[in-house]
Amino acid sequence: MTHNPLLETHKLPPFAEMRAEHVVPAVEALLSENRETIDRLAQQAAETPPTWESFAVPLEAVSDRLSQAWSPVSHLNSTMNTPELREAYQTCLEQLSVFGTWVGQHEGLFHSWQALKESDDWSALDAAQQRTINNALRDFRLAGVDLSADKKARYGDIQSRLSTLSNQYSNNVLDATQAWHKDLNSEEELAGLPSSALDTLKAAAEAKGVSGYRITLDFPSFFPVVSYAENRELRREVYTAFVTRASDQGPDAGTFDNAPLMEEILALRQELAKLLGFNTYADFSLTTKMADSPEQVLDFLGDLARRAVPQAKEEFAELSAYARDELGIDALEPWDIAYVSEKLREARHAISQEQLRPYFPAPHVINGLFQVVERLYGVQVEEDSEAPSYHSDVRYFRITEHGQPIAGFYLDLYAREGKRGGAWMADCRVRRQTEHGIQLPVAFLTCNFTAPIGGKPALLTHDEVTTLFHEFGHGLHHMLTKQHIADISGINGVAWDAVELPSQFMENYCWEREGLNLLAKHVETGEALPAELLERLQAAKNFQSAMGMVRQLEFSIFDLRLHHELSAPSASDIQTLLDDVRSATSVVPAAPFNRFQNSFSHIFAGGYAAGYYSYKWAEVLSADAWSAFEEAGIFDAATGQRFRHQILEQGGARDAVELFVAFRGREPSVEPLLRHSGIRAA
């Protein structure tokens, strides 16, 4: 076989050498190697009682080699998408799904893990090793190891089909987002837009060789138009294109329609759950989460809705009155909401996202973020400009402690063509013990901010700053782990409804004077954020917070009920359920053509199926964790080290609630979340 850069491990991905044609041969070679190793280890374990060293260690090594080859491929598919890479990715996705099913149903492998648990060595294993074994045995049962041969085969078919469908769903959203644009020649047509947004639209037009301004559905383009454009018809047109992506409605109706995919995905998920002995997919999903049952989750969400909906109705009534009395808009339409909200925020608090932009030049914000981390956890961050990269915007950094590297991360901040929207953290490499020593963790940290233009630094909104801190919180969870076993290292093995705790926790530093002193510096004058502006920012923190909360509750309740109440819903059934959830929870009228569900990638193409509630569940934990810092001081070193040790370093080594109690000294309380969100006591 010719040299294949994807087969190199224990160093950073060799992006400059990687080609789409390398992907399939590398993955096929590694899958073959994995199959041979797994069969051999299972055979050995059947002949001689397995030990951790003879069985678990070599199994982890071969699995990690595959992960290290696949992680950069998966990342490039999301950030540098091309037809060639997309095709290679899809081919491998199908093979990886078949392999995953084969591993999960490998009875020899299952019996080997079982033998480890039942061996005389069990009591000598440490807690992390025991946790790994217990998790493995649980996952075998969730993969159908106990099923009959025909049911095992059906399980494999379902998993393979689901991986294909989810990938196609994601591709449809990306393609639909990039298919639409609107070109305008005059600035007058874009009256109300701030200069930063005009610069972005102008740069988008220039990049395509056209004059004037180009509006796209990428967030840095779409959002300023619906938030600031005085032209109501333009707002309606752009809003309509955005909320009808990948559906049977809107300007590209039917071209990228995700409705048939959603129908098949949901039917297959429910069939999968039934196959494994669960009543619904929601029941299946919650077996690896903190929450005990769908009913418990719905009660939790219902309680938050009971507290938030009345206040959200008041906020919407205030918005409607302001629109009517001050802006002459008699009936608020969905494409008016962001625009009128921004006007009302400015009127009430004399502050706007645009007003804050000059204080958040990206280089200074990034440096401030690193200072926050240094003060909290005693680690340093330094750039390595020699590290291999995949785009000129992308930078690589090392985290060091006492002069020694402990982790690294890629920072990819700006929106571009071929990059899917949103913000996320992904593993590049996980921390684990190898025969050569500790393998250091590396993360991919990805956002979609407005790119710098004309040699000037990018200016971030305050919302973008909090997004950066959020994703870096995930990164810290991955990078500051002290676990030696891959399956419980970093965010691996962490209950999904607890995984947002470190990310949401980090956002708090974007609202406090001590944190903002490190982040905010005017791009031209160098002055810190003035006290008056800070007061207005903090006063506006909970502006429409109840409306924001019920919006998240709407998504969470819809997701859980979708996976708990409907067995094989049609697109019409899905819409009917969403309408029902909205009637009880939402205060903002939805446009009849809105097809939000068709681009709800979190649950149809991400890991959040029957788990979107995790954001709110974890927010209870993060708000309560933050209250410990409010009591001690937000940069209190002892509290920071306790949070690092009890939460970030532990990974999935112990139950999330156990870790929280170890940090906080008690069970979590919902009260800090309500207080931080400005939701009045019910």
Residues belonging to the active site: 471
In this structure, are residues 131 and 487 in contact, taking their beta carbons and an 8 Å threshold?
Answer: no
CA distances from 404 to 381, 408, 478, 566 (A): 11, 12, 18, 53
In this structure, are residues 249 and 575 in contact, taking their beta carbons and an 8 Å threshold?
Answer: no
- Give the number of other CB atoms < 10 A from CB of residue 473: 24
One-letter amino acid for residue 675 of the chain: R
| Cα–Cα distance for residue pair 107/619, rounded to 1 Å | 39
Q: Is 161 helix (H, G, I), strand (E, B) or coil?
A: helix
Q: Is 382 helix (H, G, I), strand (E, B) or coil?
A: strand
| Cα–Cα distance for residue pair 262/569, rounded to 1 Å | 9
Residue 244: name the closest of 264, 215, 268, 217 by CA: 217
Q: Name the E strands within 160-292.
A: 181-184, 213-216
DSSP per residue, 97-134 = HHHHHHHHT-HHHHHHHHHHHHSTTGGGS-HHHHHHHH
CA distances from 26 to 5, 40, 69, 73 (A): 9, 21, 8, 11
Contacts of 317 (CB under 8 A, 6+ apart): none
- Give the number of other CB atoms < 10 A from CB of residue 400: 15
**Which two three-digit tokens encode residue 149?**
């041969």
CA distances from 87 to 90, 159, 261, 432 (A): 5, 19, 19, 32
Give the helix/strand (H/E) hosting 35.
helix 20-47
In this structure, are residues 320 and 332 in contact, taking their beta carbons and an 8 Å threshold?
Answer: yes
Residue 569: name the closest of 347, 261, 257, 348 by CA: 261
One-letter amino acid for residue 160 of the chain: S
Q: Is 422 helix (H, G, I), strand (E, B) or coil?
A: coil
| Cα–Cα distance for residue pair 308/619, rounded to 1 Å | 15
Scan for tokens 């630094």, then name that residue. 457
In this structure, are residues 172 and 258 in contact, taking their beta carbons and an 8 Å threshold?
Answer: yes
Residue 144: name the closest of 272, 6, 319, 28 by CA: 272
Residue 559: name the closest of 525, 609, 599, 512 by CA: 609
First to last CA, the chain: 67
Q: Give the DSSP letter of residue 670.
A: S
Give the helix/strand (H/E) hosting 407.
strand 404-414
In this structure, are residues 469 and 515 in contact, taking their beta carbons and an 8 Å threshold?
Answer: no
C-alpha angle 374-377-380 in degrees, rounded to nearest 5:
35
Q: What pairs with residue 395 in β-bridges?
A: 411
In this structure, are residues 470 and 476 in contact, taking their beta carbons and an 8 Å threshold?
Answer: no
